[in-house]
A = this chain, B = another copy of it.
Amino acid sequence: MSGKLYVIGLGPGNAAQVTPEARTAIAEASVFFGYGPYVERLELRPDQTRHISDNREELARARAALEMAEAGRTVAVVSGGDAGVFAMAAAICEAIDYGPDTWRNLDIAIVPGLTAMLAVAARVGAPLGHDFCAISLSNNLKPWEVIEARLKAAAAAGFVIALYNPISRARPWQLGSALDLLRTILPAETPLIFGRAVGRPDERCAVVSLAEADADLADMATCIIIGSPETKLIERPGRTPLVYSPRSSRKDAT
C-alpha cells in the first residue's frame, strides 16, 4: 500500500503568509524533507520526523521522499516560497520522470505558496502590476549565455523582471554582470527593488535606480525586481516611495 507525497510551499517566511491548506498538509504528514532553513520553520510534533539536506541536493532529496511515500508513509517535501517556482516540485517531477514506473502511481499533491516576488512587490506598491517575468540567475543548471539572452529579451520587450537566486558564495559575479547588461538596455533611472527576507524579522527592502544598483545590496535571501521602462516611482514625504507598473501601456512594440 503506497502513501502520499505532499510538496508544500511555505511562503517567504512570515507565519501569517502560510496558507491554511499548507498547514493542513503539514499536520497530515509524518515525515519531512527539505533544506534546513525551511524545515526549521515547521513546529513539528514528536511523532513527525525530519530529513534535512543541502540546497544543492534537490534530486537526491526528491528520490528519498518518493521512496518513503512508496513505502506507505505520508511524506512532505517543503520549499520556501512556492513549491513550483525554482523549487522542489520540479525536482520531484524530474525524479518521477527518470525513476521507476511505480512512482507514477503515487498520490502526489502540490500545495502552492506565496512566492518571494509577490511579497517583495507588495512591500513597495505594484511593480508587478503589468507584464513581468521571473528568471533564476543561477548558472549551476543552465549556461550563462541562456541567462543573458533571456535578460536581454525580457528587458527589450518591456517586461518587469524578478530575479531569483541572484548571488551566492559560489556565484559572486553573475548579478553584477546582469546589472551591467541591463544598463545597456534600460534607462538609468529604472527603479529596482532589493527585497531581502521580506516578512521576517531581518527584512530589508531597498528601492534604488538602475544607475545606483550594486550587487552588494543582495544576498542569498534577496529577490530583486527590475522595473520596465514604464515602471514609475511615487515619492512620499516621510514614507518609502511607492513603485508601480501602470496597468496601461502606451508604448509602441519594441
Contacts and interface: CB of A to CB of B under 8 A. Distances in A.
Interface in A76-103: 82-87, 89-94, 96-97
Contacts of A243: 93
A18 to B, nearest CB: 7
Given A105-B237, A110-B125, A149 B157 contact: yes
Given A122-B89, A248-B142, A134 B132 contact: yes
Chain A contact residues: over half helix, strand or loop, or mixed?
Answer: mixed
Contact of A244 (B17, B97, B250): B97
Interface in A1-41: 9, 11, 14-21, 24
18 contacts: A17-B21, A17-B112, A19-B19, A58-B247, A84-B122, A89-B125, A90-B125, A90-B126, A93-B129, A97-B244, A104-B239, A130-B136, A131-B136, A133-B134, A142-B248, A143-B250, A146-B249, A153-B157
Given A150-B158, A154-B157, 15 more contacts: A11-B19, A19-B114, A82-B118, A89-B121, A89-B244, A93-B129, A97-B242, A112-B114, A112-B121, A114-B114, A131-B150, A132-B134, A149-B157, A149-B158, A153-B154
